[in-house]
Amino acid sequence: MPKKEGIRRLFDDIAPRYDLFNHLSSFGADRGWRRKAVKAIVDVSTPLDVLDVATGTGDFAIAIERKAAQGSHIVGIDLSEGMLEVGRKKCEGTGIVLTQGDSEALPFDDGTFDRVSVAFGVRNFEHLDKGLEEMARVLRPGGKLIILELSYPKNKLLRMGFKAYAFHILPTLGKMLTGNSDAFHYLPASIMRFPLPEAFVPQVKAAGFREVTARSLTFGTCRMYVGVK
């Protein structure tokens, strides 16, 4: 099965309990990570056109809309219709538009958005370079890409503790909440496979971004990347 189809099925299956798992497994730290990223996105007082890629259940899109200037337009796109079903219920009464689509073939014209964001989804791209290039394509010149992604500490002792938690406790918690243990074996493995900043920053630059920065959050268990087109 292609990775993309496997990812879609995985997230369709765990969608109803995904938010609860996120908050519990990170001890609520995911909310603080999003707040920091939102500040980087909404750094002007004028309306913005924002695309949230791999939007999932819409948590990040909602956080952005709450802080964006009046007149801003927020669009979320995700491969998983199951995640979007949950997200659309949460977005009722907002101006957020959630649509199903492929992050590696975004259904938008060149230069459509002022900001593109991705929270905890870029490591699931089947072709990472293609996804980064697509996000650059739909950004306007001077627009910004903001990525939040789970990671692991560089410190050996902290990394050992992180791996014990991620590979033993998280799958048990995930199975208790969703009944799906396979998903929660995949997720920590995908974190460990994803490149650290020394490799990922050059990759972002090669996709068409400049002034790319990386910021470590919570001992390196999450990293925030910002780039300008």
The angle that helices 3-25 and 81-90 make with each other, rounded to 10 degrees, is 40
More confident residue, 26 or 122: 122
61, pLDDT greater than 60 = yes
Q: What pLDDT, on a 0 to 100 scale, did the predictor assign at position 62?
A: 97
Count the Cβ atoms, other than its own, within 10 Å of residue 210: 9
Containing H/E element for 141? strand 139-150
Reported as a pLDDT band with limits 50, 70 and 90, residue 18 is confident
Q: What is the mean pLDDT of residues 123-128?
A: 94
Mean pLDDT of 162-179: 84
pLDDT tens digit string along 182-212?
777 888 899 999 999 999 999 999 999 999 9
Instruction: Give the helix ranges, DSSP H, for the chain.
Output: 3-25, 29-41, 59-67, 81-90, 128-138, 156-164, 170-178, 181-193, 197-206
More confident residue, 71 or 177: 71
Per-residue DSSP letters for 57-106? TSHHHHHHHHHSPTT-EEEEEES-HHHHHHHHHHTTTSS-EEEE--TTS-
Q: How confident is the model at residue 1 (pLDDT cuts 50, 70, 90)?
A: very low
